[in-house]
Structure 1
Amino acid sequence: MSQDQKPLPFIYQFAAGEYPLDVVKTRVQLQTGKGAGADAYTGMVDCFQKIIRHEGFSRLYRGITAPILMEAPKRATKFAANDEWGKFYRKSFGIQKMNQSLSILTGASAGATEAFVVVPFELVKIRLQDKASAGKYNGMVDCVVKTVKAEGPLALYNGLESTMWRHILWNAGYFGCIFQVRQLLPKAESQGGQVSNDLMSGAVGGTVGTILNTPLDVVKSRIQNSPKISGYAPKYNWAFPAVFTVAKEEGFSALYKGFIPKVLRLGPGGGILLVVFTGVMDFFRKTLNP
């Protein structure tokens, strides 16, 4: 970066840095069977190499506008919903402080809430990342227009159920682990210690959440990439029937396609996310309550 260039906001840098991993994850998840040639990916590195070799480096950033626009409302909804559901459940159950069970329950509820925000963005992103649709859409807006025109406005919420399950499982694992790991770690004696604890807690939470939700993420990608055609029942339609179909036809390991690039994003990313959120909230508390 040159001296006179202004740095991009963190959200853009973060999205740009992790996005190629997301493209690779989606390509591997959409692959059925063994495939052949440039369309067959044996793993993360092979997928990276073939995309760059056959499609060009820029293909790793195709569709990035959708997740950038999604990032802020998604993260805001995640933590705000988790906080509000926590208040609701504590009041409902007459519990003063959070515990492990409540952390998992509030995380799951926050995940379900978050899904309503992210589904249209995810659908557009998946369709732009798929190699088969590379020449079908010119960009995010074109994808939205053509999808609505061909399948109706509700098509933008195709895959809502599977997305809800994906976010329920990830958030339950994420917030549940954050609570538990924080209890196990030594109490921070400084701001630096608090940051370290949050990085560790969030990274463990992100990793566990990814282990739990990857099978639902695989079928969600396939469901959202299946256009709605009148009179035709798509092969992948509902989350858990699709999970059983993938396991039966491709083996259990197919449910973890794209796991490595996914966990590389969401493991460390979960720690960074928690540190950023905690820092912003502390700033607001000091500002509003000097």
Structure 2
Amino acid sequence: MSGSKTNAPPPQQFNLLPKIINGGIAGIIGVSVVFPLDLVKTRLQNQTVGPNGERQYKNMLDCFKQTYKAEGYFGMYRGSAVNIILITPEKAIKLAANDLFRYHLALPDGSLPIVRQMAAGGMAGACQIVITTPMELLKIQMQDAGRVAAQAKAEGRKFERITAMQLTRQLLKERGIFGLYKGVTATAARDVSFSIVYFPLFATLSDLGPREKPTDPPPFWWSFLSGCAAGSTAALSVNPMDVVKTRMQTITKGSNERQYTSIVDCVTKTMMQEGPTAFFKGGACRMIVIAPLFGIAQSIYYIGLAENYLGIK
């Protein structure tokens, strides 16, 4: 990833293909490592407090225990197939687009003011929602199915699970292609704001890394730590919108759980019935998910597998 240094002119040319490949590989590795944490985050965000203050999950550890007990090890990876398939183009677009926009927004002397860094990140975030929205929609249904099933079982009701392919066909049949873009506005608001925070912060932290020469890139481990720090900070800052997005994209609700017609409706009902702390549900878990996800992805992207091992320049 290019930083905001002023002592190096922009490269003479920008080859997008290897960066897309690097981003795809980075996404697959990153999401495979942190997926169980992401599943727990989704279930914590979706659970609502009962009239007497009852909760299905007490905390992150309790959610892990209940999920593992009810669904086993592979239950922790429910919905991962969809995520891994779609994370390749999603991360490829996000990381490569940011570099592309940074390249074109750089000033003649090679510098990139913070406002331009934020613009590049925001545009990269906007580009990715074409893939992110259907990916998140399908993933959330698969991840949350165990929570709804457990609730139904406790109440003596039957709950039939469906696969990601069955859900896709159902949505396409009932709503057309736009059925896969339920919650797109909330997804865009989260992803654009996340990228506006993440990419400039990562570039700033990356530039602070130790180097033998001023023009050298920072070491691998510094890129990892920079990705972790920037990712966790950005994740917490946009967590309220992530809660709204998750709730709006959840199609199958548990008993007595609310449906929402818009972002404003979701924010209003959540604030009135659960208070402001509800917008930070799963916040710690999301930070734990995003930090290693972006640390790993940024490091893999930084290594440049396409250039170094695949011979693509």
Q: TM-score, normalised by structure 2?
A: 0.76
- Measured after TM superposition, the shift of residue 117 of structure 1 is 1.2
Q: Secondary structure at the match of 1:61?
A: coil
1:141 aligns with 2:157: no
1:175 aligns with 2:199: yes
The amino acid across from 1:203 in the alignment is C
1:208 aligns with 2:233: yes
Of structures 1 and 2, the one with the larger relative CO (CA 8 A, separation 6+) is: 2
- Measured after TM superposition, the shift of residue 185 of structure 1 is 3.3
**Kindly tell me: are residues 193 and 223 of structure 1, through their superposed partners in 2, closer, same or farther at Cα, counting changes over 3 Å?**
same
Stretches of structure 2 that go unaligned for 5 or more consecutive residues are 1-24, 151-158, 253-257
The amino acid across from 1:206 in the alignment is G
Match in the other structure for 1:163: 187
Match in the other structure for 1:231: none
- Measured after TM superposition, the shift of residue 243 of structure 1 is 2.9
Distance in 2 separating the partners of 1:216 and 1:112: 15
Match in the other structure for 1:45: 61
Task: Name which of 178, 185, 207 aligns with 1:154.
Answer: 178
Match in the other structure for 1:195: 220
Please say if residues 127 and 133 of structure 1, whose CA atoms lie closer than 8 Å, have aligned partners that are also in contact: no
Bigger Cα displacement from structure 2, 57-66 vs 187-196: 187-196
After superposition, the C-alpha distances for 1:215-238 in whole angstroms (9 at most, x for unaligned) are: 1111111111147xxxxxx84243
Q: TM-score, normalised by structure 1?
A: 0.82
Q: Secondary structure at the match of 1:149?
A: helix
Match in the other structure for 2:16: none
The amino acid across from 1:204 in the alignment is A
Distance in 2 separating the partners of 1:133 and 1:106: 42
Distance in 2 separating the partners of 1:46 and 1:37: 17
Aligned pairs (5 A) from 1:118-133: 118-130=132-144, 131-132=147-148
Distance in 1 separating the partners of 2:115 and 2:132: 26
Question: Going by fraction, where is helix more abundant, 1 or 2?
Answer: 1
**Kindly tell me: are residues 236 and 198 of structure 1, through their superposed partners in 2, closer, same or farther at Cα, counting changes over 3 Å?**
same
After superposition, the C-alpha distances for 1:74-113 in whole angstroms (9 at most, x for unaligned) are: 111001211232244447xx77421222212211111111
**Kindly tell me: are residues 184 and 78 of structure 1, through their superposed partners in 2, closer, same or farther at Cα, counting changes over 3 Å?**
same
Match in the other structure for 2:153: none
Match in the other structure for 1:104: 118
Please say if residues 67 and 125 of structure 1, whose CA atoms lie closer than 8 Å, have aligned partners that are also in contact: yes
Over the aligned positions, Cα root-mean-square deviation in angstroms equals: 3.1
Bigger Cα displacement from structure 2, 53-62 vs 73-82: 53-62
Task: Name which of 114, 125, 128 aligns with 1:114.
Answer: 128
Please say if residues 100 and 179 of structure 1, whose CA atoms lie closer than 8 Å, have aligned partners that are also in contact: no
The amino acid across from 2:186 in the alignment is S
Q: Secondary structure at the match of 2:219?
A: helix
Instruction: Name the % identity.
Output: 26
Bigger Cα displacement from structure 2, 257-266 vs 14-23: 14-23
**Kindly tell me: are residues 286 and 121 of structure 1, through their superposed partners in 2, closer, same or farther at Cα, counting changes over 3 Å?**
closer
Distance in 1 separating the partners of 2:211 and 2:237: 28
**Kindly tell me: are residues 274 and 147 of structure 1, through their superposed partners in 2, closer, same or farther at Cα, counting changes over 3 Å?**
same
Distance in 1 separating the partners of 2:263 and 2:38: 20
After superposition, the C-alpha distances for 1:227-258 in whole angstroms (9 at most, x for unaligned) are: 7xxxxxx8424335523432332111111111
**Kindly tell me: are residues 282 and 147 of structure 1, through their superposed partners in 2, closer, same or farther at Cα, counting changes over 3 Å?**
closer
Distance in 1 separating the partners of 2:96 and 2:30: 21
1:278 aligns with 2:292: no
Match in the other structure for 2:249: 224
Distance in 1 separating the partners of 2:57 and 2:101: 41
Please say if residues 159 and 237 of structure 1, whose CA atoms lie closer than 8 Å, have aligned partners that are also in contact: no
Distance in 1 separating the partners of 2:104 and 2:94: 15
Bigger Cα displacement from structure 2, 108-117 vs 34-43: 34-43
Distance in 2 separating the partners of 1:188 and 1:259: 38
The amino acid across from 2:130 in the alignment is F
Distance in 2 separating the partners of 1:169 and 1:281: 29
Distance in 1 separating the partners of 2:272 and 2:220: 44
- Measured after TM superposition, the shift of residue 192 of structure 1 is 9.8
Distance in 1 separating the partners of 2:101 and 2:217: 29
Q: Secondary structure at the match of 1:264?
A: helix
**Kindly tell me: are residues 59 and 39 of structure 1, through their superposed partners in 2, closer, same or farther at Cα, counting changes over 3 Å?**
farther
